[in-house]
């Protein structure tokens, strides 16, 4: 089976993982670029001619079809399975809820996450007031997610959806590098959820 397209970007990246996990879950072939170098490959004139913002990852399909934004790419990949895909929901209501959680992750959770993790990893300068504000926001959103997950295994319905894959990928760096044992007790529902989803999506 020919690949549905190429996911362009560094393969060891939580945003890159989203579409790849979706493709694997659905048995779709998605080409990747293991040799891609962040800060090099996305700065070339050829890359910027196709993707002017220089964002990573990006997707290139047939007939010059391109996409940026990891969540949009993952959503498109999920749609390629057609009616066989349960990842996008079975009803209009489920699909709307899935989009709700994807947008929550992108618009609220991810900026707070980046505001905490990027200074700690040396990607941004550490500015104490900004860092403290980001930590406060991150704690608020983790608390909200913990409440949402009190009696849920999945964010939407009774099965894995793209909302879960998307959110689990956004949680990877926090569980790997930031959340302490006490934090994991505080956000025990989030910790349970992360373990469940990464176990299913692996």
| pTM score, whole prediction | 0.92
* Tens digits of residue pLDDT in 110-120: 999 999 999 99
Note the pLDDT of residue 125.
Answer: 94
Whether the Cβ atoms of residue 88 and residue 162 lie closer than 8 Å to each other: yes
> % helix / strand / coil in the chain, to the nearest 5?
60, 5, 35
Q: Is 54 helix (H, G, I), strand (E, B) or coil?
A: coil
pLDDT computed for residue 202 by the predictor: 52
Taking 50 as the pLDDT cut, the residues of the chain under it are: none
Cα–Cα distance measured from residue 188 to residue 3, given in angstroms and rounded to the nearest whole number: 39
Task: Please say whether the beta carbons of 21 and 201 come within 8 A.
Answer: yes
- Three-state secondary-structure class, residue 34: coil
pLDDT in tens, 153-194: 999 999 999 999 999 999 999 999 999 999 999 999 999 999
């Amino acid at each position: 089976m020919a690949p549905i397209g190429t996911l362009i970007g560094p393969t060891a990246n939580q945003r890159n993982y989203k579409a790849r996990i979706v493709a694997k879950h659905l048995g779709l072939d998605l080409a990747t670029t293991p040799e891609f170098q962040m800060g090099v490959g996305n700065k070339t004139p050829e890359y910027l001619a196709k993707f002017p913002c220089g964002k990573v990852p990006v997707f290139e399909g047939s007939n010059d079809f391109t996409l940026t934004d990891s969540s949009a790419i993952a959503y498109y990949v999920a749609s390629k399975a057609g009616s066989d895909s349960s990842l996008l929901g079975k009803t209009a209501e489920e699909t709307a809820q899935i989009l709700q959680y994807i947008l929550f992750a992108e618009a609220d959770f991810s900026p707070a996450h980046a505001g905490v993790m990027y200074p700690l990893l040396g990607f941004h300068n550490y500015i104490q007031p900004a860092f403290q504000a980001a930590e406060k926001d991150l704690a608020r959103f983790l608390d909200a997610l913990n409440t949402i997950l009190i009696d849920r295994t999945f964010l939407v319905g009774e099965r894995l959806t793209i909302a879960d894959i998307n959110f689990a990928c956004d949680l990877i760096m926090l569980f790997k590098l930031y959340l302490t044992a006490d934090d994991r007790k505080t956000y025990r529902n989030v910790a349970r959820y992360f373990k469940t989803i990464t176990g299913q999506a692996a």
